[in-house]
Structure 1
Amino acid sequence: MKKISIKIGLLFFCLIFMMEVCLFFLLHQKIAHSRIAEELSALVTRGNNHRDVLETYYNDETIHHIALMEGKSDTEVVITNNQGEIIISSTDINNQMHQLIKTEKKEMSRNGKIIENNWQDKPYIAAVTPFETDIDNGFVYMFKDTRQVKELMQQLNRHFLIAGIATAIVTAFIILILSRIIARPLIKMKEATKKLSKGNFSIQLENSSNDELGELADSIQSLANELNHLKTERNEFLASISHELRTPLTYIKGYADVAKKDHISMTDRVNYLNIITEEVTKLTTLVTELMELAQLDNNTFTIQKQWFPICDSLKKISTIILPSFQESGITLRMICPENYQILADPIRFEQILINLLDNARKYSPRGTITTVKVKKENADIKISIQDEGKGIPSKDLPFIFERFYRIDKSRSRELGGTGLGLSIVKELVDAHHWKIEIASEINKGSTITITAR
């Protein structure tokens, strides 16, 4: 569970640590160069001060005073004449000093110059300043042991090391907290998906963010809700199939056993055999519709679209279904003012209309009217089937196209319905990329509208 937070933490730490190292290095170099520049500038300034004193009070006492003063400080002074002869020095002159004193000094500025600044490899850093008096001219050499500069740099390095370690620890602590905060929703989503993989679809993901993680959480929650719905629907579907198959099979077995008895009359036997035939017909219809739904689900059926006159097709459908309406005492009206052309599969179109009309007939009382009306709105053709039946409660409308869904199970079974007709209609309408809507009022009837594009 914590692997993701560790990975995120390490990634952020590496990135930030690299940035800090670069920034610390640049800062260190800047400060180091500034400190060396300050030391060199101080060395030149000190030589310039001695020059000013010598030019104002040039005598042996002043020269000795300058040498004595430098002997008590962390710098050394060497005063020479123009010929390079040493007048006085505050310390014993070694080979490195001799080499620097012998350095050629062309175009010497009055404000002096640095003659050695390599503090890392050389024993001294040095500066020289010329002086001019009425008595003598010469140079003031200032030396500083680079060990002091190196100690200063080592001290600076220690400070930077301590600051770097402290910064790394604080950064690691902050990143650890932030990575856990970032990873927490991911860990919860991982646990949720693990539950989904095990078949537990009743999960609830809390989401309070509007970023990509929030969208991912919403997607997982939607998937869980959909899978939970499908699981419930599947269980109900299997239960409904079992029930629908068991009922006719029970009738068939029961009446077959009775029909086999010797003492019953031929009239009763024929009656029982007729009941068995009816139940076999229902069972055949159920199996046929189930096979058709399976084909629709697997997209193994084909939609052969073609243009044909819709009014001519409605007349053919009316001829097929009108006898059953007359037998039920229901008037069937077809309103198709113009012979509009429609792009559809003629066989599937007839199947859709016949299913809807048969459903309207079953749930409408005698003496009512069922109306099929065709009209055109812009580029769409709207086909509405309106009945004057008992209507559908508003709470049932969202589920009316689900398989085996019945408002009144006993009434549906009495009428011979399987609960699959409207499901097949919905699948066929979707296959045509059309739209189907239903509106209903209790005891006033229902209107199903198909919008063909």
Structure 2
Amino acid sequence: MNKISFKIGLLFFVAIFLLESISMFFLHNNIIHSRVHDELSALQTRGNNHREVLQVSFHEETIKHIAMMEARTDSQVILTNPNGTIYMSSNKVTDEMKKIMKSTPKNVPHAGLILEDDWKKATYISSISPVVIDNKVNGYIYMFQNTLKIKNLISELNQHFLLAGVLSLLFMMIIITFLTRVVTHPLIQISEATKRISKGELSVSLPKLGKDEIGGLGESIRVLASDLDILKNERNEFLASISHELRTPLTYIKGYADIARRQDTSDADKDTYLGIIFEESVKLSKLVKELFNLAKMDENTFSIEKEEVHLQPYFQSIVEKVSPALKEHHLELFLECSAGLYAQIDPIRFEQVILNLLDNARKYSEPFTKISLIVSEESGKTHIKVIDQGRGIPEEDLPRIFERFYRVDKSRARSLGGTGLGLAIVKQLVESHGGTVAVTSSKYAGTTFEIVL
């Protein structure tokens, strides 16, 4: 049996055993007390009945008749005078009986009383009933019953309780074994699944484990394995992309550096090659910087220092900064922002967001089209839209547009100068501000990025 089954089974066993033991202990004591009380009450009642007969007819024949009746039973009756002298006995009077009779109190109530009730140690239990005629005590009726009868009764009762206890334990062990298997079997399956996950086997499957907490745990494990599988694939793609992005500029740099070092290379060609090397170095530096920023964001070490910013002049300064580059590509940039809008943002980090979106719009817009930057407030939230009239994004690419190194137009990726990290950085920075970013697009009908703060 595995450890968890043993622990749960042992816990159930101890708990139920203690509960059953305590219950059976109190039940046993109560039954014994009740049976002994019934025997004592019956003995006293019989003595009182004999007393009633004698009070009506205190004659020799009546006394003999009472003695004859009790002689055929398991009890013994003794009639004494008020001074204690034995007048009649249904059987032989033993020393133990005489000892009990000597303990008779002076004033015995008319209802009688129990003289001896210690059935465990004494040989007899006993009662006394006074015979009162004309308001005068004419004698006492002593009733004796051997405690062996009660002891045999208790012994039989103990045997029944022992048998019931053994059967209860066996039944309890069967139930506990069944319950522990029912409870622990799903846990064992979950444990085996987590072991396979730890070994890299992420395509684990668990059967339906119900809708309780164990079922919820199993579903969480299944979702975790699925997410880890996705992350593993994304990591492999990410590493492959990094390898490609680093290898390409390094290949250019190494290749043109080798050519420039040749003695037969003219000065003009050397300048051209050095220019290419410089451009590739800039791209490589930009890539490493963006990777570094993303790594800091993932580790939550990328600080966001918010302050209240007046949005109209803030976005106007960004527009003025990027307008010359857009004009070189024959693109117009329009800003629409109310003068009274304010927002809690990190102006430096958020400028990076807007610049990345505008640069993305520039890359994928055709000449002589316009780009719109629209800022508004709706339901207490700030909405920022960057709208272009470019080629648009195919519907199948939209879900992955914010993934690292993902490019829609892979064939033109290097000619456009992108690293494939710009939109991933946008998403990270917007979420760091507590906002959301979404994209809508139609092919050949433009793209809209909307940020909601």
TM over 0.5: yes
Structure 2 CA distance for partners of 1:86 and 1:394, relative to 1, 3 Å: same
Matches of 2:155 and 2:207, distance apart in 1: 54
2:255 corresponding residue in structure 1: 254
Deviation at 1:169, TM superposition (A): 1.6
User: What is the letter of the counterpart of residue 157 of structure 1?
Assistant: N
Give the secondary structure class of the aligned counterpart of 1:230: helix
The answer to whether the 8 Å contact 1:406/1:412 transfers is yes
1:371-397 per-position Cα deviation (integer Å, ceiling 9, x unaligned): 111112243322110011222233322
Matches of 2:440 and 2:396, distance apart in 1? 12
Equivalent residue number for residue 426 of structure 1: 427
Q: Aligned equivalents of 2:310 and 2:53: distance in 1? A: 120
Partner of 1:28: 28
Contact 1:119 1:125 (8 Å CA) reproduced: yes
> Aligned in 2, Cα 1:338/1:43: closer, same or farther, shift over 3 Å?
same
Query: Corresponding residue for 1:113?
Result: 113
User: Does structure 2 conserve the Cα–Cα contact (< 8 Å) formed by 1:312 and 1:339?
Assistant: no
**Counterpart in 2 of 1:220?**
221
The residue that corresponds to 2:400 in the other structure is 399
Equivalent pair of 2:401/2:407 in contact (CA under 8 Å) = yes
- Give the corresponding residue for 1:436: 437
Separation (CA, whole Å) in 2 of partners of 1:115 and 1:65: 24
1:128 aligned to 2:116?
Answer: no
CA distance in 2, matches of 1:419, 1:48: 109
| Structure 1 runs not aligned, ≥5 long | none
Alpha-carbon distance between aligned partners in 2 of 1:320 and 1:147, rounded to the nearest angstrom: 112
Moved more, 34-43 or 249-258: 249-258
Relative to structure 1, the CA distance from residue 359 to residue 76 in structure 2 (aligned partners, 3 Å threshold; closer, same or farther) is same
| Deviation by residue 1:6-45 (Cα, 9 ceiling, x = unmatched) | 2122112211211111111111111111111121122123
In the TM superposition, residue 331 of structure 1 has moved relative to its aligned partner by 2.1
Report the CA distance between 1:270 and its aligned residue.
4.6
Tell me, what secondary structure is at the counterpart of 1:67? helix
Residue 264 of structure 1 deviates from its aligned partner by 6.2
Distance 1:136 1:422, change over 3 A: closer
CA distance in 2, matches of 1:111, 1:342: 98
Q: What corresponds to 1:416 in structure 2?
A: 417
CA deviations 1:159-204 (Å, max 9, x no partner) are 1111111112212221221122222333333333333433433333
**Residue in structure 2 matched with residue 316 of structure 1 by the alignment:** 317
Task: Mark the runs of 5 or more structure 2 residues left unpaired by the alignment.
Answer: none
Partner of 2:396: helix, strand, or coil? coil
CA apart distance, 1:438: 1.5
| Contact 2:130-2:137 within 8 A present in 1 as well | no
Change over 3 Å in CA distance of 1:405–1:131 after alignment to 2: same
Paired residue for 1:164?
Answer: 165
Q: Measured at CA, do residues 37 and 280 of structure 1 come closer, stay the same or move farther in structure 2, by a change above 3 Å?
A: same
The CA distance in 2 between the partners of 1:423 and 1:132, in whole Å, is 111
The secondary structure found in structure 1 opposite 2:78 is strand
| Cα contact 1:256–1:276 (8 A) shared by 2 | yes
Pick which of 52-61 and 190-199 moved more: 52-61
User: What secondary structure does 2:160 align onto?
Assistant: helix
Distance 1:281 1:229 in 2: 33
Q: State the superposition RMSD in angstroms.
A: 2.7
Cα pair distance change 1:386/1:442, threshold 3 Å = same
Q: Which residue is equivalent to 2:178?
A: 177
SS in 2 for 1:418: coil
Distance 1:441 1:122, change over 3 A: same
Map 1:137-148 to 2 at 5 A.
Answer: 137-148=138-149
Structure 2 length as normaliser, TM-score?
A: 0.90
Which segment is superposed worse, 251-260 or 402-411?
A: 251-260
Q: TM-score, normalised by structure 1?
A: 0.90
Q: Distance in 1 between matches of 2:385 and 2:406?
A: 22
The answer to whether the 8 A contact 1:308-1:342 is kept is yes
Question: Within 2, Cα distance between the matches of 1:307 and 1:143?
Answer: 102
Tell me the equivalent position of 1:6: 6
